[in-house]
A and B are shown apart, each in its own frame.
Chain A
Amino acid sequence: MNPFAAIGRGTFALLAEIGAMSLFALRGTFSWASGPFYAREFFSAALRIGFNSLPVVGLTAIFTGAALALNIYDGSLRFNAETFLPQILSVSIVRELGPGFAALMVAGRSSSGMAAELGAMRVSDQIDAMSTLAVDPFKYLISPRILATTIMMPFIVLVADLIGILGGWMVAVFALDFEGATYIRNIDQFLTAEDVGSGLIKAGVFGFLIAVMGCYHGYKSRGGAQGVGAATRSAVVASAVAILASNYVMTSLFVDF
C-alpha cells in the first residue's frame, strides 16, 4: 500500500472528525436558545459534575501542592532563592497545575460518564425515542451537559487552587520551617488577578471540551456494549488531548501581555 495515500486518508478522516465535532459543539451549545431550556437537567448535571468531582479533585490538588513545595524548595535552594517558595508555588498552581490536574481528573470521571450514559441511550434507541416524543435530544441531553460543565469547571478549579496552595503551605510550615502567616502574606501580595483569572478562563474552556468530547462520542456510538466501551475510551483520550493542546495555546496567549 502507498504510505502517502494512507497518511492522506488518515489526515482527511481526522479533519472530517474535527469538522463533525465542531458542528456538534455549535449545535450543542446553542440549541437551548430557541427554547425550551431544561433547567432541571442543567442543575442535575451541574450538581453531578461539581459535587462528585470535588473529593477526587481535592485529593489530587493537596498532593500536587505538597510535592511541588518540596521540589521548588529543593531546586531554589541551589541558588539561595528558597524564600520565594510561596510565590513560585502559588503561581504554578493557579496558572497551570490547578486547572490542568482538575480538568484531567474531571475528564476521567465526567467525560467518560457522559459517553457511557449517552452511548447506552443511543444503542438502546432511547435517543431516537426521545425525538419521537417531541423532545429534541440536543436541547434535553447535550446543551445542559455542555453548559453545566463549562460553568462548573471554574468553581472546581478555584477549590483545587485553594487546596493545592494549602497542601504546599502544610509542607512548607511543618517540614520546611516556614512561618505560616508570612507565607500567606507573601502569596497575597504577589498573586495578581490575571494569574488567577487566566487559570479560571482555562477551566471554562476545559469544561467545555470535556463535555463536548463526552457527549459527542456517546451520541455517535454504535453497536451495542462494545460500541459504548469504545465511545467511553475515545471520550477520555480525546478530552485529555484537547485539554493539553488547548492549554498550550491559551498559555502562550496569556503570557504574551
Chain B
Amino acid sequence: MTGTPKISIRALRKSFGSKSVLQGLDLDIEEGTSLVIIGGSGTGKSVLLKCVLGLIPPDSGEILIDGVNILKLSSFERARRTREIGMLFQGSALFDSYNVWENVAFRLIHGEGKGRGAAREKAVECLAKVGLAADVGDLQPSELSGGMQKRVALARAIAADPKVLFFDEPTTGLDPITADVINRLIIERVKALGATAISITHDMGSARRIADHIAMIFDGRIIWRGRADEVGASGNPYVDQFVNGRAEGPIKMALRAD
C-alpha cells in the first residue's frame, strides 16, 4: 500500500535546557519497509525514537502514525496507538528483578492479562525464534552475556507480534559474528511479521544488511536519505565522511565535552 506513510515526522524539535537536540527533523517511513538511521553519538537518534514512542514529549512538530498526529491525542489514545510499536532498547533494558521468560512474557502477563502458563509457552516460543533454548528462560538477565541479553530483548520486543519495530543500536558492543547473528534475526523477524522497522546503528555493515533505506541525522536534522545501496555513492560529503569513518571532513567532532 502506498499513500500515507506508516510513520511521518514533521518539523520535530526538542531541546533539553539550552541544548537543542532535534531542530526541525522531517522523516517518512513507508509501511513494510526497513529504515536505518545513522549519525554520530549524541545527535539525538535515541531521543527521536523515544519521541515517537511517546516517552519524551517534543517541544513542537508533528508525529503521524497512520496519518494521525499522536501529539494531538489524549494520553490514553496515544498509548493505545504507540502500543503497536515494539522497541529494542540500546542497553537491552531487561527487568533485572525478573527472570528471562518473565521478561519476555511481561507484556502478555501484565499488559494483556494472559495466564502465566500460556504466557510462558509463548515466551519459550519467542526465545526459540531468537535461537535460545527453553532452559535459558529460568536464568536471570544478569547471568547472560551481552549478546544473549540482546536476543532476549529482541524476543521481548516481538512477543506481542508488533506491526512496527524499533531497534536502537542492536549490535553495538557485540563481536562481529554475534552482531551478524543479531542482524539476521532482525531481518528474519521483521520479514516474518511483515513489520515496519526503524533501526539505529553506527555499524555500516549492519546498516547495509538491514536497511531498505538509510537516513543520516546531523545537527538535529535529516541531511541525507536514500536507498541502502546508494549510501556508498551519495555524493554527500557528510555521509561520505561517516560511511568511511574519517576524522577529517565537514563533521567536526568535539574533542572536548562542551
Q: Identify the A interface with B (CB < 8 A).
A: 36, 38, 120-121, 124-126, 128-136, 140
B110 cross-chain contacts in A, Cβ below 8 A: 36, 38, 133, 135, 140
B91 with A124: CB separation less than 8 A: yes
Question: Is there an interface contact between A36 and B89, defined as CB atoms closer than 8 Å?
Answer: no
Q: Out of B55, B90, B96, B107, name the residue touching A133 (CB < 8 Å).
A: B107
In the bound complex, CA of A140 to CA of B113 (Å): 13
**Is B189 interfacial (CB-CB < 8 Å)?**
no
- B224 interface residue (CB < 8 Å to A): no
> Does the CB pair B87–A134 fall under 8 Å?
no
Q: Which of A36, A124, A140 contacts B93 (CB 8 A)?
A: A124
For A134, list chain B residues within 8 Å (CB): 79, 83, 107, 111-112, 160
Bitwise interface map of B from 109 to 134 toward A, beta carbon under 8 Å scored 1, else 0: 01111000000000000000000000
The reply to whether B87 and A135 form a contact with Cβ atoms under 8 Å apart is no
Residue among A120, A125, A130, A140 having the largest count of chain B Cβ atoms under 10 Å: A125
Give me 13 A-to-B residue pairs in the complex whose CB atoms sit less than 8 angstroms apart, sorted by A's number: A36-B110, A125-B89, A129-B89, A129-B93, A130-B95, A131-B55, A132-B55, A132-B82, A132-B87, A133-B107, A134-B79, A134-B112, A136-B79
Shortest distance between the CB of B200 and any CB in chain A (Å): 14
CB of B194 within 8 Å of the partner chain: no
Residues of B at under 8 Å CB distance from A?
50, 53-55, 79, 82-83, 85-87, 89-91, 93-96, 106-107, 110-113, 156, 160
Q: Which residues of A contact B89 (CB under 8 A)?
A: 125, 128-129
Question: With a CB–CB cut-off of 8 A, which chain B residues contact A38?
Answer: 110
Q: Within the assembled complex, what's the spacing in Å between the Cα atoms of A135 and B94?
A: 14
The smallest beta-carbon distance between A50 and chain B, in angstroms, is 19
Distance A181 CA – B90 CA, assembled complex (angstroms): 67
Q: Inside 8 A of B113's CB, which chain A residues have their CB?
A: 36
Partner of A131, one of B54, B86, B160: B54
Other A-B pairs beyond A130-B95, A136-B79, 19, CB < 8 Å: A36-B113, A124-B91, A125-B90, A125-B91, A126-B93, A128-B50, A128-B55, A128-B93, A129-B87, A131-B54, A131-B79, A132-B86, A133-B106, A133-B160, A134-B79, A135-B106, A135-B107, A135-B111, A140-B110
Interface of B is mostly: loop
In the assembly, what is the distance between CA of A134 and CA of B93, in Å?
A: 15
Q: Are A131 and B107 in contact (CB under 8 A)?
A: no
| Chain A residues in 8 Å Cβ range of B93 | 124-126, 128-129
Residue from the set A38, A131, A135 with the largest chain B CB neighbour count within 10 Å: A131
For A128, A130, A132, A140, which residue has the most chain B Cβ atoms within 10 angstroms? A132
- Chain A residues with CB under 8 Å of B79's CB are 131, 134, 136
Residues of chain B within 8 A of A121, CB atoms compared:
95
Min Cβ gap A227→B in Å is 14
| Residue numbers in B under 8 Å from A136 (CB-CB) | 79
Complex interface: chain B residues within 8 A of A129 (CB): 87, 89, 93-95
A18, chain B: closest CB distance, angstroms:
21
CA gap between A138 and B245 in the complex, in Å: 43
Q: Which chain A residue has the least Cβ–Cβ distance from B53?
A: A132
CB distance from B106 to the nearest CB of A (A): 5
Q: Which chain A positions have C-beta within 8 A of B111?
A: 133-135
* Known interface pairs A133-B111, A134-B111, A135-B111; A126-B55 also in contact (CB < 8 Å): no
Cβ contact within 8 Å between A132 and B91: no
State in angstroms the CA–CA spacing of A136 and B79 once bound together: 9
- The smallest C-beta distance from B220 to any residue of chain A, in angstroms, reads 21
| Complex Cα spacing A129 to B89, Å | 7
User: Which residues of A are found within 8 Å of B91, using beta-carbon distances?
Assistant: 124-125
Contacts of B160 in A (CB 8 A): 133-134
8 nearest interchain CB pairs? A134-B111, A125-B93, A133-B107, A129-B93, A132-B87, A125-B89, A135-B111, A135-B110
Q: Looking at the assembled complex, report how far the CB atom of B46 sits from the nearest CB atom of chain A, in whole angstroms.
A: 9
A86 to chain B, nearest CB (A): 47
